[in-house]
Amino acid sequence: MRCLPLLIIFPKPSKKGAVFFPALKGQVFTPKILMKKLFNTQKIHFVCISLVMCFGFTMMNTADVDSVPRAVPAGMVLIPAGEFQMGSDDAQAGSDEKPVHRVYLDAFYMDTYEVTNAEYAAFLNAKGKHVDGAIKWFDLKDSDAHIEQVDGRYQAKSGYEDHPVIEVSWYGAMAYAAWVGKRLPTEAEWEKAARGGLAGQKYAWGNSINPSKANYLLDVKDTVPVGSYPPNGYGLYDMTGNVWEWCLDAYDSHVYTNSPRRNPIVGAERISELIDNFMAVKSSRVLRGGSWFYSARYLRVSYRDRDTPRITYTLFGFRCVKEVTP
């Protein structure tokens, strides 16, 4: 649209270098006659003024477009707005993955990697605690935990700095997300991101899986540093395997039968309402993506797991998203 004003009055090329100006009633000019007319007719003055105004308008409009903030936050990937097919009807799909249905999501940013032990330790140090009242954010005493407390400071255990944090409850994931100015993904956001722009595929890259593509089925028997396997089509790592990832939503096995078409969230009217009151949440929360312990069926992008938000487990971690603001 920015080019339209220029197209309306721009002279059309003609034979032998002559030009045709609609504003001058269809007269045809050679360059020599044109130069003479340019300084002698009021009509040409009008054309010149119009050209200057259109140039200014074009530059102003270009500046508007370029000034729209579109910088992707560090460590995140832009997942574009649009529809995708959520759920699965393949032979391995559970009843809660059906029916396949269309969902529209606004654009959002998603963490490139699962949140690491080093990142989570920084959060615990900032808060000076790993328990909030009676609720554990992080299970420091579990021998599986990869964060320890040394001289009152939290730190990743040696060699586990870049591994995904585990032994973190849903509350602990929510509190971390708020601290970094992000939030957990909705279940729909997680699945769209995991699909990497592909439609109807089992995994983040296609329909087949082997141990070169993801950390699963006890191939390594532990978490691995985030980003150890190839990314999906959106540039996201470990959406399949390594650790299960907490989502924002309550788990509802029947929700796909009447899911809202746009930006669905389960268990609250609005995302902001859920975030503002998250410590009061009691119902099970969705987990996605499978883990290093699980078989391929559970790593499918449409597979839906859930657990109580209080649980801290050796296979559960998370990553965050951030809304795109104009």
Q: Which residues bind Ca ion (CB under 5 A)?
A: 139, 142, 238, 242, 289, 312
Shortest distance (Å) from residue 197 CB to Ca ion: 18
The CB density around residue 34, as the number of other CB atoms within 10 Å, is 18
The CB density around residue 75, as the number of other CB atoms within 10 Å, is 14
Residue type, 108: F
Shortest distance (Å) from residue 156 CB to Ca ion: 17
Cis peptide before 99 (omega within 30 of 0): yes
CA pair distance 29, 1, nearest whole angstrom:
29
Shortest distance (Å) from residue 139 CB to Ca ion: 4
Q: Please, which residue, 142 or 148, has the CB nearer to Ca ion?
A: 142
CA pair distance 70, 272, nearest whole angstrom:
23
The CB density around residue 210, as the number of other CB atoms within 10 Å, is 10
The CB density around residue 71, as the number of other CB atoms within 10 Å, is 6
Q: Please, which residue, 264 or 289, has the CB nearer to Ca ion?
A: 289
Q: Is 167 left (phi over 0), alpha (psi -120 to 50) or beta?
A: left
What tokens appear for 176 in the block? Answer: 């971390």
What tokens appear for 95 in the block? Answer: 């009843």
Q: Please, which residue, 142 or 222, has the CB nearer to Ca ion?
A: 142
Q: Please, which residue, 193 or 198, has the CB nearer to Ca ion?
A: 193
Shortest distance (Å) from residue 297 CB to Ca ion: 15
Shortest distance (Å) from residue 323 CB to Ca ion: 22
Q: Please, which residue, 168 or 274, has the CB nearer to Ca ion?
A: 168
